[in-house]
Structure 1
């Protein structure tokens, strides 16, 4: 049987100075706090006070080209969370690491080490790097095509999982003579398209079996990878019907791979901007982008999302044609954000003026009063469309404290989130299956 339904899962992104491009310039903050260890520590402490399940750091090992925006990626997530784990209890640490520019054995060892140190609180966010600037930092070879990157990612993840389970946890009672043998520390003897690894890993099985795995993808290859390997799936989903459809696609692919779809947790991104009134929240939204009114926000949004392909004379009050948002499964850049725009435009007759209040940074935007934000969170969760949300805070760390004060109590009053942490590991808390005790997936009937 699949695990019982979980509480509303809350994750919060701790990237840089916040999700807003100009968060570095927010009044009362240090512009360069993205290189201050105490900034991340305070953010994680506030997330813990709000009983968030997860703190999340994405990664992109290249300096971005836009030097007017906060540098969204700086510190190495594994090193950062090693320090945070020693100072902040209970909460899960979701860190991003690329399958394109790592070696399986070294990454498996680092993450297994952190999982032991933290008491079973690590989540590995699997990404297949798509930026040629990253490729240029790792050698002269060009960025591989999407199909090759996903084949490598599939082999990489399976190999890391095998390594994580290759040395049984030593017993508390000391052995008579041998500390391990071929029955407890097993070679994996992997020979594949991209990797040859003998094993076993020299870190034994961790407190939660092995780290939780997350993945984000909207292309056919991305959904298949998530359905085959992930416990948590992140996504850009702007319309509830799209979330239901996405979950159905995950379910179908999970069954193909012999997995129980009930073992997957779907957490789309949600950017939150709060105000005592909706009008106040709207003014805050505009100010975050350096504008004093809605027209500037619209122009900026259209430029950022269409750039040189911006249709001439686009009417901000005329419904958008879904055909404006085009993608193909073979493109180098991620499919998810563009696809989510097209799905929203197809589901509703939405205008650019309305769209700027529904989307922020490629994710769904909840801008309004605390009650309005709590209601939209509860609506999607209670319907079963999602298992929770990855919350993006425009300005860190104070935005987390604001969410704790105004939204978390409403979610608790609805019985959606707990008042404290339970379970000794993250898998126990999220009711995820222990990888040491797999069970067959249910039949399609």
Structure 2
């Protein structure tokens, strides 16, 4: 099993900034992120994840998100925290391939091969307004650009191969080691080669959160890790099967993709204590306020006066279109869950948090929830969302990690020098050089006989 932990602002809970003992301004203190990464390392997490959204959010009652540039932040953290992988978000719509390839390759060298790039095409008009007067491009265009962007960046990352051995006698590089890219496409014209040589892991690992048809296809073609919103186990099996089928179409080994959906963990000594903590995290002392706040923050619809909290939800309420501005994955996952179960609003708020699956209860109940999907082969691991940072990571390390380790699903120490090795992913140089062998898949990946085939 692989685990990453999201380290964004003061925590995943919208009102984490107001939690007792929390300094609201810590979101702009880099030591806060350093401490979170150190705690994640103590828990032997594989990855620490920082998302990015280069615009000030409009909801001023929620914790401020995405203030620091994650590339700069991780460069500082990498100098102090060993072993753990660094997953950062960068948009293909509001970057250029050469500059981003160079920044990420530099960080990959500095960290010793521990960088993961989370590719997003950006869906929020507020971001578009910060980069140009042009409106946000249509979804189809954004995904075509992302596809081409990835093609170019991967070529650049592999364009300068510094040979091992004695120092050259005449030239530092030649056309055999530094190859031009000469890319000419719909969106980009890039000559290359990159002026940063191939990194310790070949090139950074790539992650994506595809949910729309175009998003799933992009993930199947390019991603090593897929972070999806999956709320129901059968939906996870179906998504994995779809991803594998698309990967084969693109000529990829489907076993080379790690599926790690988001999961929010709220732990208490008893389930009732965890429920009360859940309500308090949102600023309420009861369940009714939590229900109303859930639908408001999820931005699906206003539940006030419209729905009975104890009547099963109609799945058609969660309709979506491929061209909508909201992330398709969140809305689709709600539709899948309500179609599979006669779930009420009261039950839903205890199953979903922040658009992700919610594991709530005692340490053993949370551990069992995590192990259930992994042991059945639905997923390869999870991206854990902690309501309040950094203390929540320490609590998860104390209460849940030992149970996962005792089950044999999660390691007690780090292995492998790069994040690519730890995840058991193929060396990208093998695509260019058939003599380069792929890294053997580690035992923590879902066994092939447990994976869904359809």
> TM-score normalised to the size of structure 1?
0.96
Superposed CA deviations along residues 181-215 of structure 1, whole A, max 9, x for unmatched, are: 11110001000000000000000000100000000
5+ residue gaps, structure 1, are: 1-7
* Matching residue within 22, 35, 38 for 1:29: 22
Using the alignment, how far apart are the partners of 2:163 and 2:319 within structure 1?
53
Secondary structure (helix, strand or coil) at the match of 1:270 reads strand
Counting only pairs closer than 5 Å after superposition, residues 46-195 of structure 1 correspond to structure 2 as 46-195=39-188
Match of 1:380 in 2: 373
Taking a change above 3 Å as real, the CA distance of residues 307 and 121 of structure 1, as seen in their structure-2 partners, is closer
Contact 2:115/2:204 (8 A) holds in 1: yes
Superposed CA deviations along residues 334-375 of structure 1, whole A, max 9, x for unmatched, are: 100000000000010000000000000000001100000000
Taking a change above 3 Å as real, the CA distance of residues 111 and 275 of structure 1, as seen in their structure-2 partners, is same
Taking a change above 3 Å as real, the CA distance of residues 408 and 308 of structure 1, as seen in their structure-2 partners, is closer
Superposed CA deviations along residues 67-117 of structure 1, whole A, max 9, x for unmatched, are: 111012110000000000001000000000000000000000000000001
Match of 2:317 in 1: 324
| 1:309 Cα deviation from its structure 2 partner | 5.2
Match of 2:449 in 1: none
Match of 2:411 in 1: 418
Counting only pairs closer than 5 Å after superposition, residues 336-375 of structure 1 correspond to structure 2 as 336-375=329-368
Using the alignment, how far apart are the partners of 2:363 and 2:133 within structure 1?
50
Using the alignment, how far apart are the partners of 2:416 and 2:11 within structure 1?
30
5+ residue gaps, structure 2, are: 439-452
> TM-score normalised to the size of structure 2?
0.94
Match of 1:393 in 2: 386
* Matching residue within 270, 275, 282 for 1:277: 270
Deviating 4+ runs (over 6 angstroms) = none
| 1:312 Cα deviation from its structure 2 partner | 4.4
* Matching residue within 196, 206, 216 for 1:203: 196
Match of 2:450 in 1: none
Superposed CA deviations along residues 148-176 of structure 1, whole A, max 9, x for unmatched, are: 00000000011000000000024241011
Alpha-carbon RMSD? 1.4
Contact 1:163/1:199 (8 A) holds in 2: yes
Match of 1:4 in 2: none
How many matched pairs? 435
